[in-house]
């Protein structure tokens, strides 16, 4: 899909040619070549104010037979001092939406104006363009009898640059990050009747076949044998059997320095006996956003093939109500042997993750990251824009933070002082209380999972606010965001 070229000529044939316009800056080489073909008309249109260099402003004009490429888009880059990676990702997103709207299948982009703006190497710019185009052209699957989805899709992208870097390969890598995120989006957007724990296991099976991952799926009999009482207690209220899904990727000859990625796979959450309000419950199909992020990262990892060892663990279940459902006041025993008093059955994600992180440790990981749509409290604390984090290891937290910043997915570390930890030990009948109260709810929920990681360096990411957006953004439509798939991928790729 991605190729690169050095010189744009009259014979260069594309549906659209895209050039970037900097404030107080000249045209880059490819744009200058086109300007010469058009007898200086680009410069003239700029002077007349018909083309804009304001950040994100898109304009278009025709070459009227002066070049085989009939249509030209210009995109304003703004002031070069204000252009950074996030701006370029956003600009690529705006461009992708325009290409999708116009049903463009073959586009050429003059890269060097972006390069002059950001003052980084061409490979970085190409990566961001590949990622931004991939994210912004994602479509939500619908089930309408008549759908208005466009029949044409972007198929070919040519990057014109004088740089010697392999920009096409960098763009392909950016596209791999986007495709992992889009895969996560699709999983999270899927209705719960079409994505049960069994279906989620089947998705993992498809990934294993596509990329050669080792797959293990524990059934409920296996969970009983291993003592996974927390996961089994949550699934007791559903007719759908729970699954513990494990994908293993070995990128080095020796198994060492392995990362465990654990994703909450609650394919639907009614709250159990502590029933959720009806308003908004239809969105609880997104309660497997953590599992989506982990599987999305594995999609990207399968394409990129980094020299790193990974274990992806997804405890998956439904939180429903029947005569066998978990009840407030019940005492259950997790895989590690710790007992838990249930004060709220809607605090179920931390229960299945307790067994998930414990099993990941048993499989021999050296580092852990868990991702979960865990608490409404994190939305109150951080809104829809930032993911909350809890850790037991500052050095590992710093690596996760750096990965998130590079990916453009914000996280914020929450405190984990001893008084918060003591709140978990307020049960008179069990080792832990699964819901010690509203105060510090995101913190105590994360620290609950931390009770099961022992001394393994660990970061918990609460994506309850960031996994879903009610309105479209530059990088995607309303619905699932696929958040943290790119952060996890970046963390893995940078891990040595």
Query: What is the CATH number that goes with domain 2-162?
Result: 3.40.220.10
Specify the CATH architecture of the domain 177-493: 3-Layer(aba) Sandwich (3.40)
* Position 78 confidence tier, pLDDT thresholds 50, 70, 90: very high
Q: Catalytic pick from 276, 327, 333, 338?
A: 276
2-162 and 177-493 share one CATH topology? no
**Tens-digit pLDDT profile for residues 131-155:** 999 999 999 988 988 766 667 889 9
- What pLDDT was estimated at residue 214? 98
**Tens-digit pLDDT profile for residues 288-302:** 999 999 999 999 999
pLDDT of 76 over the 70 cut:
yes
| Contact by Cβ (8 Å): 291, 316 | yes
Share the mean pLDDT of the chain: 95
In angstroms, the CA 345 to CA 379 distance is 20
Query: 20-34, 363-377, 425-439 — which is least confidently predicted?
Result: 20-34
* Position 269 confidence tier, pLDDT thresholds 50, 70, 90: very high
Q: Mean pLDDT, to the nearest integer, of 246-275?
A: 97
* R_g of the chain, CA atoms, integer Å: 25
pLDDT of 371 over the 90 cut:
yes
- Annotation-wise, does 121 bind a ligand? no
**Tens-digit pLDDT profile for residues 20-59:** 999 888 899 999 999 999 999 999 999 999 999 999 999 9
pLDDT of 213 over the 80 cut:
yes
- Annotation-wise, does 346 bind a ligand? yes
- What pLDDT was estimated at residue 147? 65
Ranges of each domain in the chain? 2-162, 177-493
Residue 276 annotated in active site: yes
- Annotation-wise, does 348 bind a ligand? yes
- What pLDDT was estimated at residue 80? 84
- What pLDDT was estimated at residue 146? 74
Q: Catalytic pick from 55, 185, 350, 486?
A: 350
- Annotation-wise, does 43 bind a ligand? no
pTM (predicted TM-score): 0.96
- Annotation-wise, does 80 bind a ligand? no
């Amino acid at each position: 899909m991605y190729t690169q070229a050095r010189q744009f000529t009259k014979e260069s044939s594309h549906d659209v040619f895209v050039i970037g316009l900097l404030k107080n800056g000249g045209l880059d080489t490819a744009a200058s070549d086109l300007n010469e073909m058009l007898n200086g008309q680009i410069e003239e249109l700029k002077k007349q104010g018909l083309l804009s260099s304001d950040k994100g402003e898109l304009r278009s004009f025709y070459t009227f037979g002066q070049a085989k490429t009939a249509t030209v888009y210009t995109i304003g880059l703004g002031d070069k001092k204000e252009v950074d990676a996030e701006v370029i990702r956003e600009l690529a997103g705006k461009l992708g939406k325009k290409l999708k709207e116009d049903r463009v299948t073959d586009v050429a982009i003059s890269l060097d104006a972006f390069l002059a703006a950001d003052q980084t190497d061409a490979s970085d710019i190409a990566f961001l363009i590949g990622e931004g185009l991939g994210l912004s052209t994602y479509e939500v699957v619908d089930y309408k009898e008549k759908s208005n989805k466009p029949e044409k899709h972007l198929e070919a992208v040519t990057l014109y640059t004088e740089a010697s870097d392999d920009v096409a390969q960098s763009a392909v890598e950016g596209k791999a990050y986007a495709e992992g995120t889009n895969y996560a989006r699709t999983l999270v957007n899927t209705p719960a009747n079409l994505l049960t724990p069994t279906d989620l296991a089947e998705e993992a099976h498809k990934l294993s076949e596509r990329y050669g991952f080792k797959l293990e799926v524990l059934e409920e009999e296996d969970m009983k044998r291993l003592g996974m009482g927390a996961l089994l207690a949550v699934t007791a209220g559903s007719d759908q059997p729970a699954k513990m899904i494990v994908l293993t990727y070995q990128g080095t000859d020796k198994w060492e320095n392995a990362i465990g990625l654990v994703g909450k796979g609650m394919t639907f959450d009614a709250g159990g006996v502590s029933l959720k309000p009806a308003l908004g419950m239809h969105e609880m199909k997104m309660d497997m956003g953590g599992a989506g992020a982990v599987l999305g990262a594995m999609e990207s990892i399968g394409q990129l093939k980094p020299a790193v060892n990974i274990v992806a663990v997804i405890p998956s279940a439904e939180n429903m109500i029947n005569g066998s459902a978990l009840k407030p006041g019940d005492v259950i025993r997790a895989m590690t042997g710790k007992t838990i008093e249930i004060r709220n059955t809607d605090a179920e994600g931390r229960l299945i993750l307790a067994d998930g992180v414990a099993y990941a440790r048993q499989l021999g990981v050296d580092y852990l990251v868990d991702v979960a749509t865990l608490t409404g409290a994190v939305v109150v604390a951080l809104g829809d824009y930032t993911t909350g984090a809890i850790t037991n290891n500052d050095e590992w937290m710093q690596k996760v933070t750096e990965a998130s910043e590079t990916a453009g997915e914000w996280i914020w570390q929450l405190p984990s002082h001893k008084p918060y930890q003591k709140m978990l030990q307020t049960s008179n009948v069990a080792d832990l209380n699964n819901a010690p109260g509203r105060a510090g709810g995101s913190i105590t929920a994360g620290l609950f999972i931390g009770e099961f990681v022992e001394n393994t360096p660990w970061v918990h990411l609460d994506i309850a606010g960031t996994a879903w957006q009610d309105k479209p953004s530059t990088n995607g439509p309303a619905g699932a965001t696929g958040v943290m798939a790119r952060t996890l991928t970046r963390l893995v790729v940078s891990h040595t």
